[in-house]
Amino acid sequence: MLRKVKITICLGSSCFARGNQQMIARIQKYIKVRQLEDKVEFKGDHCSGNCSEGPNLFIGTRLFQKISSENIEKILDTGLAEYIKQ
């Protein structure tokens, strides 16, 4: 069985207040539209201590910072391309 790629969004108070609250629905929609449910695991996590460059998102072990509604799809495309052929 293939291991799923972990997408981990920071739900610490700083990242959450800076936009990650809105990113949750955007990421869920991205996964659903591309039918990636069997390939990715999306979850939230606590503050990783990188607040000043947030909002933050991990795709696998790679950290993406300053995510926003303008760049989230590109970040997901880029981050997932390392693991999944879409």
Q: Which positions lie near ligand FES, rule CB under 6 A?
A: 10, 12-15, 47-48, 50-51, 54, 56
Q: Which residue is nearest to ligand FES (CB)?
A: 12
* CA 38 centroid distance within chain: 16
Distance CA 61, CA 73 (A): 18
Return the structure tokens found at 52.
């000043």
Q: How far is the CB of 72 from ligand FES (least distance, A)?
A: 15
Cβ-contact 74, 52 below 8 angstroms? no
* Residue number with CB closer to ligand FES (20 or 30): 20
* Residue number with CB closer to ligand FES (54 or 79): 54
